[in-house]
Amino acid sequence: MIATVSGIVADVRLDCVVVEVGGVGLVVNTAPNTLAELRVGTPACLHTTLVVREESLTLYGFSSSDERRTFEILQTASGVGPRLALAMLAVYSPDQLRHAIGGADHAMLTAVPGIGKKGAEKIVLELRDRLGPALSPVGGKPSTAHPDEDQVIEALVGLGWNNKDARSAVESAKRSGEQSVPELLRAALQELKR
């Protein structure tokens, strides 16, 4: 896998950018929000993922590793390929997608070109517990949750619990007075064993 591409922007096109790396121009497909940040002749560092198909090797680039991770997870849903995943990231930020999918907001998902009602339902069903918790409310305001809580929730999701169960276990652990990450994690695990 090619994790990052760093070099000078040689060309900015409608849906991709050419980044010159060591005398070689790499075509990197990107979402419009990433393209808007790039200017010809300036240095760029894109977080990338390489999609291998029978007929092509295609690089997709993002301004953050969170966007790249979200792009990769979106493609694990049946019917979602790289183009549709990129379209979803063109319309919504990774955090907005986490809110839409985690909250089963089908209307929000159907606003993406190429996603109908049944497609939105399938995406929610398959990805609800895989994207992780949203980092901030949809309005973009900072999350009122303590950063330690998010860290523990992510750890529990990584251990196999779904987001909803992990969040309620952490909330129960917080009510019992646990404060540090290890204490909170231990208490949340005890809560999940019940």
**Which CATH fold would you assign to the domain 4-62?**
OB fold (Dihydrolipoamide Acetyltransferase, E2P) (2.40.50)
More confident residue, 118 or 134: 118
What confidence tens digit (pLDDT) does each residue in 84-95 have? 999 999 999 999
pLDDT at 36 over 90: no
For the chain, the structural domain boundaries read 4-62, 65-127, 147-193
pLDDT at 60 over 90: yes
SS (H, E, C) the chain: CCCEEEEEEEEECCCEEEEEECCEEEEEEECHHHHCCCCCCCEEEEEEEEEECCCCEEEEEECCHHHHHHHHHHCCCCCCCHHHHHHHHHHCCHHHHHHHHHCCCHHHHHCCCCCCHHHHHHHHHHHCCCCCCCCCCCCCCCCCCCHHHHHHHHHHHHCCCCHHHHHHHHHHHHHCCCCCHHHHHHHHHHHHHC
Report the pLDDT averaged over residues 167-175.
83
**Which CATH fold would you assign to the domain 65-127?**
DNA polymerase; domain 1 (1.10.150)
pLDDT at 170 over 90: no
Report the pLDDT averaged over residues 161-169.
80
Predicted confidence at residue 139, as pLDDT, reads 44
pTM value is: 0.68
pLDDT at 174 over 90: no
Predicted confidence at residue 88, as pLDDT, reads 94
pLDDT at 149 over 80: no
Range 147-193 classified under CATH 1.10.8.10: yes
